[in-house]
């Protein structure tokens, strides 16, 4: 179910299902987008900073994306504008199970386009040990329903 | 060629080759990680905010990643720590050709681990019209060669 701008409020918090990270997927993803030894070669990864194969940061972001999409309730986003203070405090390893929490930080209508809402959303993804593997504040655009659209929703 | 911490300096700027964005790739990527109509369905995308099929933001980030990897000279990064102020000012569309510029902003040795350099890198990706499609300051870790390692490099 998609939540519209008029359904949400600062503090609203949504949580995802778990995402099991598979080694084959880690290697396949990084082979295409970030082919560094510590992302694609389990043996070479042992002498890396990580000590073992680790997912690349873009893969971690993609897992965040698909977990958000699979949430039973999700924000009706019509464009992503960027993010503030992205941190990857812990690596993601094959075998991890990741869970995402999304929290509405604040929201406002665009000054120039009042039918567009600008919403700041904190996204925190943790592994099975509750360690944070990704934390960021995303800035997204959500359509603001007009009064007549809201009436339609009420009568649906 | 990988540039080590001792090879780089604030202001160092590196530029990539071009990356042609293909519609099939846009659809395949988003189908896996961000399956929204405006990323995967050219017809539905016409009535979206974008007006046509647009790449998802994670795909844009991945193109940034592989362009960085393909640069003739690249930073010897051993971990990504995150990013500051990520913005996606313009959508990426099939048919675009993207180019990345990477600039070293500042660099310092980690206070707790002097063999690890913390480097802030501005990454700007533009389309064929020189419009910025992605801008961020990434925070990465680079190994700092020891004096004996530097001597080896000198004599190599």
Give A144 to chain B, closest Cα distance, Å: 13
CATH number at residue A50: 3.10.129.10
Q: Report CB contact under 8 Å: A62, B141.
A: no
Q: Is B114 on the interface with A (CB under 8 A)?
A: no
Q: Is B28 on the interface with A (CB under 8 A)?
A: no
Where does residue B63 rank: exposed (0-12), middle (13-18), buried (19+ CB within 10 A)? buried
Tokens 């958000």 sit at which residue?
A68
- Test the A interface: residue of B32, B57, B81 with most A CBs within 10 Å: B57
| Span of A57-66, A139-148, B89-98, B112-121 with lowest mean pLDDT | A139-148
Residues A117-143 as b or e (16 or more Cβ within 10 Å = b): bbbbbbbbbbbeeeeebbbbbbbbbbb
Residues in chain B closer than 8 A to A86 (CB atoms):
82-84, 86
Number of compact structural domains in chain B: 1
Q: Are A68 and A92 in contact (CB under 8 A)?
A: no
Q: Is B110 on the interface with A (CB under 8 A)?
A: no
CA angle B123, B18, B136 (to 5 degrees): 15
Residue B104: predicted pLDDT: 98
Residues in chain A closer than 8 A to B36 (CB atoms):
69, 77
Q: Compute the distance between CA of residue A113 and CA of residue A117 in angstroms, rounded to an integer.
A: 8
Question: Domain range holding A145?
Answer: 2-155
Q: Is A37 on the interface with B (CB under 8 A)?
A: no
Whether residue B156 is predicted with pLDDT greater than 60 in this model: the reply is no
Q: How many helices (H) and strands (E) does chain B have?
A: 4, 7
Give B22 to chain A, closest Cα distance, Å: 15
pLDDT in tens, chain A (156 residues): 899 999 999 999 999 999 999 999 999 999 999 999 999 999 999 998 889 999 999 999 999 999 999 999 999 998 889 999 899 999 999 999 999 999 999 999 999 988 999 999 999 999 999 999 999 999 999 999 887 776 665 565
Q: Is A71 on the interface with B (CB under 8 A)?
A: no
Residues in chain A closer than 8 A to B83 (CB atoms):
83, 86
Q: Report CB contact under 8 Å: A49, B81.
A: no
Q: What is the pLDDT of residues B13-49, one digit of tens each?
A: 999 999 999 999 999 999 999 999 999 999 999 998 8
Residue B148: predicted pLDDT: 75
Residues in chain A closer than 8 A to B81 (CB atoms):
87-88
Q: Compute the distance between CA of residue A30 and CA of residue B11 in angstroms, rounded to an integer.
A: 29
Q: What are phi and psi of A74, to 5 degrees?
A: -140, 155
Q: Tell me which residue of A81, A142, A96 sits closest to B133, measured CA to CA.
A: A81
Q: Per-residue DSSP letters for B75-111?
A: E--SEEEEEEEEE--S---TT-EEEEEEEEEEEEE-S
């Amino acid at each position: 179910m998609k939540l519209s701008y008029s359904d949400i409020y600062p503090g609203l918090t949504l949580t995802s299902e778990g995402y099991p990270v598979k080694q084959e997927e880690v290697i396949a993803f990084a082979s295409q987008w970030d082919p560094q030894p510590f992302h694609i070669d389990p043996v070479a990864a042992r002498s890396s900073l990580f000590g073992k194969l680790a997912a690349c940061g873009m893969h971690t972001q993609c897992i965040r994306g698909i977990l958000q999409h699979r949430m039973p309730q999700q924000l009706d986003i019509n464009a992503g504008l960027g993010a503030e203070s992205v941190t990857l405090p812990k690596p993601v390893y094959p075998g991890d199970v990741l869970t995402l929490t999304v929290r509405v930080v604040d929201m406002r209508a665009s000054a120039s386009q009042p039918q567009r809402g600008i919403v700041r959303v904190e996204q925190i993804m943790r592994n099975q040990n509750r360690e944070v593997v990704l934390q960021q504040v995303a800035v997204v655009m959500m359509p603001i329903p007009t009064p007549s659209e809201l009436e339609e929703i009420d009568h649906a």
